[in-house]
Amino acid sequence: EQAVAVAGAVIGGILLFVLIGTTAYLLWKKFCCLRSYEKLTSPIKTTNASAFFQDQTNSEMQLKSTRSRSVPFIIPPTLHGRDWINLTNEEQVQEDSDPHMIPQSGPRSSFHSLAGAYVVGTINPGLYKIPEDKSETDFPDGNIGRLWFSVEYDQESERLLVSLIKVRKLQPPADSCSPFVKIYLLPDERSYLQSKTKRKTLNPQFDENFVFQVSSKMLLQRTLKFLVYHVDKQKKHHLLGQVIFPLKNEVLTDDNKLVIWRDLEKENLEPPSEYGDIQFSLSYNDYLGRLTVVVLRARGLKLQEENHAVGVYVKVSLMNHNKFIKSKKTAAVLGTPSPVYNETFSFKADQTELDTASLSLSVLQSIKGEKTLLLGRVVVGPFMYTRGKELEHWNEMISKPKELVKRWHALC
């Protein structure tokens, strides 16, 4: 029992000694912190408030300067080789002779006081101007008007979406003009969609949408036809011009909306000839020795069978004397006596051969791919079967090099 009492007394003494030592250490640490706080805050007692804020501002500027110097300044590769000006507080920026690099002048902000700052220049707005749309201003001589429209095809619903936007610079027979537009989807000429009539304007703004139902298989065989009319005071309609737009040369998808403009053309009011007519243009480039033929359209063709399986195409052949040189043909257009082609063909022809050369354009009909029938033919040139208009067309092509000369010709 005495041993246990002695051990308990020893342990209690040790714990008491540890507790006293810990308390003394904490009091000493607190006393040291109070002493250091008094040393740090003692200068404030002798400094006014404005000096304190000034020192704080200087400290912040020094910190920003240190940070800004840590970021490297990279000059673009296109501007390498220039003499850059290092700015300080007292230096002024010299004017640069380059019009695209205009240094700043006048009072500088705190950023310009940094030793690592350089004047790179300002943006020249002239380099970012949108090019002027010349379709609104560039009208050739003899122009009778210009039409803007857009085309889009919805594959899922098989609908052709046509937006009639505007017409500019109409040439009506009277002083006033009240225009409207009829839209056809050829070869169907029995039905059409019509816009609203715009009163007393030569520059109507329509912004109207039209829908044609057409399958994707037949889409590339179709052609849009716009007829622009003027309504006079007696409610009579006068045709001012037309636009023919084949769809076969365009990529029509849901996300591809084409905005197009075309100049109006005068419709040929003469009745078609016995076997029909064909319209094409000729041009000759004397520098390249190249003869170009653009097969545009035909009308009034006497088809042997009128159904959607009938295809009509044009075969273009270059002849020299009686010798066949080369021939090319258009794609077949189905089911219409008035097909539209707009296809271009080129032939090599030396200028010395033009006096003995000729072009033969044959309109052919294929029935279910089994047989081919000749619907009509026309020959232009100084040799072989040429008549008055055909010879005149050829001579006009030679007299106007590099210019497309367009004419209608009767088939025979």
pLDDT at 327: 92
The reply to whether 276-411 shares the fold of 142-264 is yes
**8 Å CB contact between 180 and 191:** no
Query: What region, left, alpha or beta, does residue 151 occupy, with left being phi > 0 and alpha being psi -120 to 50 degrees?
Result: beta
**8 Å CB contact between 121 and 231:** no
What's the CA gap between 231 and 225, in Å, rounded? 19
pLDDT at 282: 92
DSSP track, 228-278? EEEE-TT--EEEEEEEEEESTTS--BTTB-EEEEEE-B----SPP-SS-EE
pTM of the model: 0.48
pLDDT at 147: 92
**Residue pointed to by tokens 């030396």:** 350
Q: What is the largest CA-CA distance in the chain?
A: 152
Segment 174-224, tens digit of pLDDT: 777 889 999 998 877 778 899 999 988 888 999 999 999 988 888 888 889
Parts of the chain with a pLDDT under 50 = 40-47, 49, 52, 63, 66-70, 87-118
Angle at 115 (CA atoms; ends 114, 121), nearest 5 degrees: 75
Q: 181-194: buried (b, 16+ CB within 10 Å) or exposed (e) per residue?
A: bbbbbbbeeeeebe
Domains in the chain: boundaries: 142-264, 276-411
Q: Which long-range contacts (CB under 8 A, 24 or more apart) does 170-174 make?
A: 170/144, 170/145, 170/202, 170/203, 170/204, 170/228, 170/230, 170/240, 171/144, 171/145, 171/240, 172/202, 172/230, 172/238, 172/240, 173/230, 173/238, 174/230, 174/232
1.20.200.10, 2.60.40.150, 2.40.50.140, 3.30.1120.10: CATH of 276-411 = 2.60.40.150
pLDDT at 45: 46
pLDDT at 77: 61
Which residues on neighbouring strands pair with residue 324, listed in sequence order?
319
Taking each continuous run of H as one helix and of E as one strand, the counts in the chain are 4, 17
**8 Å CB contact between 258 and 161:** no
What's the CA gap between 47 and 51, in Å, rounded? 7
Q: Where are the beta strands (DSSP E) in 67-169?
A: 146-154, 159-168
Domain 142-264, classified CATH 2.60.40.150, yes or no? yes
What's the CA gap between 353 and 355, in Å, rounded? 6
The token pair at 120 is 């790179």
Segment 333-390, tens digit of pLDDT: 887 888 888 899 999 988 888 888 889 999 998 876 567 888 999 988 876 555 677 8
The residue type of 392 is E
Which residues on neighbouring strands pair with residue 154, listed in sequence order?
159
Q: Which long-range contacts (CB under 8 A, 24 or more apart) does 129-138 make?
A: 135/261, 136/168
**8 Å CB contact between 302 and 276:** yes
Radius of gyration of the chain (CA): 44
Cis bond leading into 187, ω under 30°?
A: yes
